[in-house]
Structure 1
């Protein structure tokens, strides 16, 4: 990234995404690849009178844990991370992996880590729900992410800059405009309780009594551009087909169809990667939906194999199995939150209380000027 892009990105993350205030503590988790961005974040934190602490992984550390770590070591929770999640005011996770193709740890080791992390994840969701912990998830352009997206590093950097709006004169103002535009949609959807997603391979309904649709305007994910909620846990019925590849633990699953009755996923099929689905649906809490959403970021113009970007693709919807969002009123608990994406640009329709509000990848004009 250029010095100008780094400065713009850091300013946006600190001053808009987590809105850091004087005296507040920010924890950043990443790898050493993101050091140029963290240097700029440090400057922005100092300008507002805050405090920065960070944890940076080095290349090979994941492989070392996989090859030599014991279940007890996989169950160890880093002290600074635990303290930050439980006590700090702000948290930024910058994804900057060295590789996306490393062999994962053995299932028993992953399970030890999942069990140990469950209480911390619960605290994380509780504290982010009421913004006691202001958080942002973002990426730093690096070779592994570029390769995964089938772009050069230069192309991928431009892709990230466009999606996050740091290529614009005033990124913060651009995201405030997104907030304003999406609020009309959110207000209308919060006045309704029954929703239906339909296309040629999908027909699924769910209800949102006591739940809230959230305006995702870049303050919790960067980039953002979606409206989302957590459906009532026992309300979903029907079936949904996910056109886009679903990626979990570095493994790709193609052509997923989920069938659901009274909120429980009773059948799962994949055109490839069935074993990944079978393994995942053995994990507690995964057989219910934790999220239903509509992607609205039309500057994300291609699939990049990175869910942070892909779930926001304008003209798509996504549903996540597992963990709900407390902020939206969700109650399902799981160590998994796995988003899967369906294309709605060719004949897709969304109904709200029986009224068509969306067709062919776009909300109706009165909701989306």
Structure 2
């Protein structure tokens, strides 16, 4: 399937002139680190040219396709020593982060199961090696000197996994990103303003804790002090969710997720979690439970780093897409509820992130887990009730919509 060049050009414009720089687009002279696989070539080139046309500079990371019969990552995991799998080129990645103003990553899987049958422990070792890079990025982002964004390029393998034709899969992308609009950049800015109005109403509520209730969930989440809600603001395209980083210590109860997640190349389905005083004390999955437990076993990956809700009135995503970027923003009948295990987003802090020490982040209950931030999603009917600081209760989300 060949995607129309005019749609790819609009896609590139959305990413360069809206998504990057937290919804403001790049400035002349900015440097963009652009990452994508071979299968994304037409979109990769459109985005690269758009960066140059905007007066920006490029650093590119154009990777060979990850395929089961021809993947460098798979070859390393099968044949490399532990030292090779855990190798991290500190000077190289430090140089990339130092030189970069924005990171633009094209998500795409030419073979969504390319790591099938690889032990989860080996994959975790490889993922752990990237933790210093994520810490470098986080520090620069907290200083207000780095932005990033993700977008999706559909492949036959991803469409097959979602149970869609490739044409139907791309139709979801086109609709979700407003690529048929004459000016999709302006459309995104308009939608973002609507989402910001809801976010502002949430910020105005003195919320102490949230109760997430449904036939498959009975979970309490403590919001914590000095928190605000965030919306995508360009960090993901598309993004319709409104989220925050709760105080992990106040998570109690159980929750089940009806949507699978993909972690380290493996599909994990039927996830259920039980929390006590902020920690996962029981976990199960109907598919690849070993991968779920391997993930949770990472340091601090047994704690919540994010809580999020999506209002179905904004999202045009109606199908399961087999990728977190879309599934965490799905609309449908009941919107979606999701949490992330692992690292907390520190930009939910109401003050100056750059002045906060690691000890102070810990004191406020922000979970620190550079190795893991894994969203787990449910599209079942959930009611979310906020308990305010004066003890009164207010329903903030019902039937897939905010009720503010």
Match of 1:153 among 166, 172, 188: 166
Q: What is the aligned partner in structure 2 of residue 355 from structure 1? A: 394
- What's the offset of the Cα at 1:322? 0.8
Aligned to 1:77: 88
Which stretch of the first structure deviates more once superposed, 258-267 or 124-133? 124-133
Q: What is the deviation of 1:68?
A: 3.2
1:239 correspondence with 2:251: no
Do the aligned partners of residues 66 and 155 (structure 1) sit closer, same or farther apart at CA in structure 2, a change above 3 Å counting? Answer: same
Q: 2:185 aligns with which of 168, 172, 177?
A: 172
Match of 1:100 in 2: 112
**Contact 1:129–1:325 (8 Å) recurs in 2:** no
Which residue does 2:368 correspond to in 1? 333
Q: 2: distance between equivalents of 1:277 and 1:62? A: 20
Which secondary structure state, in structure 1, belongs to the residue aligned with residue 213 of structure 2?
strand
Given candidates 58, 63, 70, the residue that maps to 1:52 is 58
| Deviation digits for residues 246-272 of structure 1 (CA, Å, limit 9, x no counterpart) | 332232333222111221111213344
Q: Which residue of 2 aligns with 1:304?
A: 321
* Aligned residue in 2 for 1:213: 229
| Displacement of 1:121 | 1.1
Work out the number of aligned pairs and report it: 362
1:63 is the counterpart of 2:74:
yes
- In structure 2, distance between residues paired with 1:283 and 1:97: 25
Q: Secondary structure at the match of 2:78?
A: helix
Q: Secondary structure at the match of 2:249?
A: coil
Q: Aligned-residue CA RMSD in angstroms? A: 2.0
Q: Which residue of 2 aligns with 1:14?
A: 16
Contact preservation (8 Å) 1:204, 1:236: yes
In terms of mean alpha carbon deviation, does 101-110 or 294-303 score higher? Answer: 101-110
Shift of 1:146: 1.9
Separation in 2 of the partners of 1:133 and 1:223?
20
| Structure 1 residues 182-221: aligned runs within 5 Å | 182-190=195-203, 191-193=205-207, 194-208=209-223, 209-217=225-233, 219-221=234-236
**Of 326, 337, 348, the match for 1:317:** 337
Q: Unpaired runs of 5+ in structure 2?
A: 350-364, 388-392
- Equivalent of residue 255 in structure 1, options 245, 267, 270: 270
Per the alignment, residue 310 of structure 2 pairs with 295
Does 2:133 correspond to 1:113? no
- The 3 A distance-change label for structure 1 pair 86 and 115 is farther
Q: Which moved more, 1:23-32 or 1:42-51?
A: 42-51
Aligned-residue offset at 1:173: 1.7
Asked whether the equivalents of residues 192 and 352 of structure 1 are also in contact (C-alpha less than 8 Å), the reply is no
Q: TM-score, normalised by structure 1?
A: 0.92
**SS of 1:339 mapped into structure 2:** strand
